[in-house]
Every structure is written in C-alpha cells, then in structure tokens.
Structure 1
Amino acid sequence: MSIRCSNPFRIGPLLAAAFLCNLVAIFVAPCAEAQTPPAWRPLVDRLVLEGFDRAAMDSLFARARLAYDPEPMVDKMEALYATKYGIRLVRAVQTELVRLSYLDDDVDGKVGPNTRNAVRLFEQAHGMAVTGVADEEILALAKRETQPKPADLSLPEEKALVYSSVLTPERLAEASAFYKAHRKALQKMRASYGVPEEIAVGIVTVETRCGLYLGEENAFATLASMAASRNPTILDSLVAREKPTPPQRSWLYNRMNEKADWAQNELVAMLQYAALNGLDPLRMPGSVYGAIGICQFMPTNAVKFGVDGDADGAVNLYTADDALMSLGNFLNEHGWKAGAKNRRAQRKALYRYNHSIIYVNTVLAVADHIRRGAPSQ
C-alpha cells in the first residue's frame, strides 16, 4: 500500500535561478496567443500586482480551461452566516420544540448541544432515526404535533462523538496497513518531532484514508474561484432566504471579501509551493476549500511547514515520506511536546490541526487502535 511508488505530480527539476526571476515560468510556458477568460481577468490583475508575470498567468488560466464556480464561496458563507447569526430553518424548529417543551427558551437559529439534544428527543419520541439534525422533515412534523414531550422521555447516555464512518473495520484496516508500510518514515518523524507514529496515522486516516482519497476537487480551481468571488450577487439566494438586516448584510459582504482575500493568499502560496518543488499546480487534487496532499495542508502551511522527508530535493505532500515529516513539523510547531502522554495536551495540539472536537476524538480513537495492534517499541 506504499504511496511512494509513483510521483505523477512532479514535472521536472527546479531551476532556482529562474525561480527568483519568475515563479511561474518554471511550470508555465507563456504563449503570446493566450487569453485569460473574462471571468478570471480581475484575479489575474491582482496576481500581477502580487508580482507574477502577466503572460505566464494568462497561459496558466488559458491552459487550465477552468470554469468559474461560485459554489465554494457560497457554501463557505452559508456556514459562516449560520455560525454568526443562525438560520431561519433552525430558528423555526427551535420555536416549535420550545412550544412542545423539548427545548427551553433558546431560539437563536444556531445548532448547539441543546438544540441537537432536543431534536434527538423529538426523534426518539416519534420513532425516527436519532440524528439530532434540525431539517425540514423535523419542522413539518413538529408543526403538526400537539402533544408535549412525554415526562419520562430521556436520552441514552451519549458516547464520545466520533466520525463513525472512520472507525469501521475497513478503515481501521487501512490505517494498520499504512502503519506497517511506512514504519521507517513514521519512526523518523517521531525521532525528529516527538509525534507518536499512531497519532500521525490517525490524522492521515481521517484526512485522506491514508492517501487513498485525496479529494475530488481541483485545488487550484477551488482557490481561484474563491479568490474571484467578490460580486455580492452570488449570495442572492442566501439573502433572499435568510432576510438579513442591513448590518447583517454588510457583515456578510465584508466577510465574503475577507474570504476572497484569504483564498487569493492561499492561491499565491500554491503557485509558490508548486514552483519551489517542481509540481504542476493544475494537477493537485484537494479538498472543497483547497487543502492538498496526504496530510491536507493549506498551501500556506505547505510552504511554511513542508519538509523534504525523502531527501530528493523537493517537498511533495502527495508522497508519504514528505507528508509525514511535514505533519510532524506542524504539530511540533503548534505545541506538541516530545514524550507528551497527557491526553489533554495531546488533544490541545490536535485541535490546532483541526478545530473540531469530533475530529480530535476520532484521531485519538484510530491512534488507540494502532497502539493496541502495534508491536512493542
């Protein structure tokens, strides 16, 4: 199951002198006839202001033949707006659950533990699959209900929240196979950065199924589309549905521009990372928001924390040796202490890798599985 057997993203040796003169010339041959599609021209103008060669950028976008896609930005703003202000659907569900005594007076449109538990109780009372998701089906049923919550209804004790899809026998077998196939690289990472092998395996298991699933998106296209998303009309459906107040609408549009600036910064880093390491930026699969490689680094982190684990002169996060060393470097720089056995300290460092309690719980669960099956060290 070695992921190091091939390197389809490498396109040739890096010419350091040429890189200093022109980052993009390493992987793009400028063409006089190349024309940037209209949707991308404002973004190319901004990249030129960042120091990139216009002819090279025109060639890059012409070669990419990319269609601008507003959906990544729309999805991100939907999530940010829901976190900041709540959403109307959840607020309506909460209102009905308060009426039926499943929820205290906590109507804010945000999905927190109280709302999830109230929905779970409602689902349990009505013989439904217990999900805790406040959706249209729950709203419709709650509106028709006239009976309050049964007095003796209670939730069973909840286990630690994890991604159950990761902790299946098949996925855990993939984790064990990766651990066995890359023992030397994992030991080298631990010796260099103090991160236990099983923790690293837990992360790559959750992130990319140990490199078997690198994402269905073109990371360049995703980041370029988000960086180009500065027209407020792409949020018209969100505005029509949620009916934000003028201050809320102002926040929404300002936040969109901030995320576009963030995406442009990541796009610049991707171009730099690709040029430095002889990789083609148009052939990098990634996540829905542009994370790349086996360990799913954003490009700015790839530039900052990337390590050449196999000493071949390049940092290729699509290979196990480089990805594992880079992961160890990131965790070490973000608070992982060598020899740390305190679970709280481990959780804190992992939370900085991904700000999700469920994510941290799942990584530690995979690590426990690897630890139980690993030979003594």
Structure 2
Amino acid sequence: MAAMPVAIVILFLMLAPMPASAQNERVDYVVAELEKSGFPRAVAEGLFADERVKMYPPREVAPRTIDWDKIIASLVAPQSVQRGEKFHSQYQEILDKAQKDFGVDKTAIVGLLRLESDFGRNTGDYVVFNVFYTSMMRAEEEKRWKWFAENLIALAQYCKKGGYDCLDVRGSYGGALGPAQFLPKSAELFGADGDGNGVIDLTHPLDAIYSAANFLVEHGWHEDQMAALGKYYGSANGYPRAVMAYAEALRKSLGMTPPPPAPESNNSDSNSRVIGRTN
C-alpha cells in the first residue's frame, strides 16, 4: 500500500487505549489542525461526536513470514494473468495516458493493482476513520500517534473536497483506500485526477491508476524502479519482484515488447504531474 511501514499496519489490533486525558489531547490536536485548514470547528468536532465513531477491539495478530515465491507463482498463473488482460482492455486508454504522462510502464501499474487489491476486488470493509482513530488512541509514542492523526486529518480533507461521508469511507484494516490502496496522507500528497473531473476519487480505477503512477514517479521510478515499488509497499522484501513478474507475464500474454527506458523528468513534466493533487 502507499505507503505504510508493515509493522504499523496491525498496531490498532494490539495495544490498549490511552487514558481519557491523552485521548482528549489527541482529538483536540486533530480538531485544531482541521480548523487551521479551513474546517469550521463545529464540523471538525462533529466528526468525533458522530455515533458511528468507535474503536476497533484489540486482538493479537501472529507474525508471519510472506512466501513471495509462492505469491509470485500464483500471480503469474494463467487465470491471474487473464484478469490483468481484462483490466488492461477495459482501461487501456487511461493506462496508455498514464504511461505517456508519467513514464511508468503501464504493465507495472497493472501488476501493482493486481497485487494490491486484485483490481479493486479486495479493498477492505473497515471504516477508515475508525481505523486511524483507534490507532491514534492506542499508540504510545507521540511520533506514532501523530502519524495516525495526520492520516485522520488527511482523510477528513479528502472527504470534504470530494463530498464524501467521512464515516462511510471503507478500506483495508490498515486504512488504505481503493484499488491502489492509498493511505489518506499519501492521497493528499500524491493523489492524481485521472479522469479530469476535478475530484480525486481513490475508489475509481482511473484516479487509482493515475495516483499510483504519480506516487512511483515522485519516489524515484526514473532512477530505480524496484526501489520506488518498495517505497509504495513500505518494504522492499519481495513486493517489487512480484509486481515486475506480473508485468512481464502480462506483456508476454499480450504480445507486447518491454517499453523503452523512461524519459528523464524535466520541469514541465514535473509541473504536469502535480496537477490534480488533493493538497
């Protein structure tokens, strides 16, 4: 997902909540930051007063080792690659545009979306506001709870700009949104408007495609593709290799040749890439 350290993902499942005084301090911090960004204070406070706000119950999650070789074997199986062919056919126009505008191999974008959410099939059903609210309340270190708070703030801003109900936005247990599994803070910084309607909707494949491409470019795709993919996931262990294996299998299935090296970025390209960001 773009982009969260893997160890943080399950934090909200494991820790006990802070005392009430600390909880109030943290809510006050979010409310104050939202007010600074233009939210009426009553609206910001109303988010936390909503009856749908709740903390997810803690539960232990056993550490696991990811078998990337097994995952890659499943990814490049014929049935899996066929789903990529279908997605490529359905969204070829925007994939071609993203490849042209950002210089990111479109088959790598398809591979990323296959691995992140199976093209939007598995985006999660957790209330994202409650994910970050729970994590913020349970985190012990100031740096960590403020990281969750910043995602709460970014989520509220994303919902305000898009006209979404903040307590109805669903995502993964780590708080990631849509087919590209973007965290709210990453959406604020790297979200891009793929369909040109002036609104970034991370649940829409066109915006997800464009946002993923923008994130990769902003994290060094033109210098080191594997490193950029590692930053997208939050860990370089296996993920970049899996995305590239799927991209190669898809190219072979479609009879495509590998794309030429991406052009060097320049000032005009950089300016075009930030158009449509949520900030």
- TM-score bracket relative to the smaller structure: 0.7 to 0.9
Deviation of 1:376 (Å): 4.1
- Aligned partner of 1:352 among 228, 231, 238: 231
Q: Which residue of 2 aligns with 1:204?
A: 113
Cα distance between partner residues in 2 of 1:64 and 1:189:
41
Question: What RMSD, in angstroms, separates the aligned Cα atoms of the two structures?
Answer: 3.0
Show structure 1 runs of 5+ residues with no match.
1-36, 80-110, 117-130, 133-158, 231-252
- Aligned partner of 1:194 among 103, 106, 110: 103
- Aligned partner of 1:65 among 52, 75, 85: 52
Letter of the 1:227 counterpart: M
Percent identity over the alignment is 29
Q: Which residue of 2 aligns with 1:284?
A: 169
Contact kept in structure 2, 1:171 and 1:209, CA below 8 Å: no
Q: Does the residue aligned with 1:215 lie in a helix, a strand or coil?
A: coil
Cα distance between partner residues in 2 of 1:228 and 1:198:
40
Q: Which residue of 2 aligns with 1:299?
A: 184
TM-score normalized by the length of structure 1: 0.55
Letter of the 1:312 counterpart: N
Contact kept in structure 1, 2:72 and 2:245, CA below 8 Å: no
Q: Which residue of 2 aligns with 1:317?
A: 202
Deviation of 1:280 (Å): 2.4
Q: Which residue of 2 aligns with 1:184?
A: 93
Instruction: Specify whether residues 327 and 270 from structure 1 end up closer, same or farther in structure 2 by C-alpha distance, changes over 3 A only.
Output: same
Cα distance between partner residues in 2 of 1:375 and 1:320:
24
Q: Which residue of 2 aligns with 1:48?
A: 31
- Aligned partner of 1:175 among 84, 87, 104: 84
Cα distance between partner residues in 2 of 1:194 and 1:45:
42
Q: Does the residue aligned with 1:187 lie in a helix, a strand or coil?
A: helix
Q: Which residue of 2 aligns with 1:18?
A: none
List aligned pairs for 1:94-133, cutoff 5 A. Answer: none
**Are residues 1:369 and 2:256 paired?**
no
TM-score normalized by the length of structure 2: 0.73
Instruction: Specify whether residues 59 and 164 from structure 1 end up closer, same or farther in structure 2 by C-alpha distance, changes over 3 A only.
Output: farther
Letter of the 1:61 counterpart: F
Cα distance between partner residues in 2 of 1:266 and 1:64:
21
Contact kept in structure 1, 2:72 and 2:242, CA below 8 Å: yes
1:204-225 deviation digits (Å, cap 9, x = unpaired): 0000111111113221110111
Contact kept in structure 2, 1:160 and 1:361, CA below 8 Å: no
Q: Which has the higher contact order (CA 8 A, sep 6+)?
A: 2
Cα distance between partner residues in 2 of 1:297 and 1:62:
26
Deviation of 1:161 (Å): 6.2
**Are residues 1:330 and 2:239 paired?**
no
Q: Does the residue aligned with 2:152 lie in a helix, a strand or coil?
A: helix
Deviation of 1:165 (Å): 4.6
Contact kept in structure 2, 1:161 and 1:361, CA below 8 Å: no
**Are residues 1:217 and 2:97 paired?**
no
Greater displacement, 194-203 / 37-46: 37-46
Show structure 2 runs of 5+ residues with no match.
1-19, 258-279
How many pairs does the alignment contain? Answer: 233
